[in-house]
């Protein structure tokens, strides 16, 4: 793995960590609803890159 790739992944991990407080407060049901919200956003043409960090954070909290 290249150093620049590692730096990019570390940056992404920090962004996910910053959202932990917001999503930790959500109930399991609210977390499940987020999946449909993300699907709807993708259907509307919102780029995956713009919602990917939030999706990772949701998955992390749902686990």
User: How high is the mean pLDDT in each 10-residue block of the chain (63 residues)?
Assistant: 89 92 88 90 93 90 78
Sole residue written with tokens 């150093």? 3
Exposure of 52 by Cβ count < 10 A (0-12 exposed, 13-18 middle, 19+ buried)?
middle
Q: What is the pLDDT of residue 21?
A: 86
Q: What is the pLDDT of residue 43?
A: 96
Q: What is the pLDDT of residue 35?
A: 87
d(CA 45, CA 34): 17
Q: What is the pLDDT of residue 7?
A: 93
Q: What is the pLDDT of residue 47?
A: 93
Question: In terms of residue numbers, what domain contains 56?
Answer: 3-62
Q: How many structural domains are present in the chain?
A: 1
């Amino acid at each position: 793995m290249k150093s620049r790739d590692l730096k990019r992944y570390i940056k992404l991990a920090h962004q996910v960590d910053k959202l932990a407080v917001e999503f930790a407060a959500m109930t399991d049901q609210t977390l499940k609803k987020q999946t449909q919200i993300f699907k709807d956003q993708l259907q509307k043409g919102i780029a995956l890159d713009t919602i990917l960090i939030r999706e990772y954070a949701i998955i992390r909290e749902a686990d």
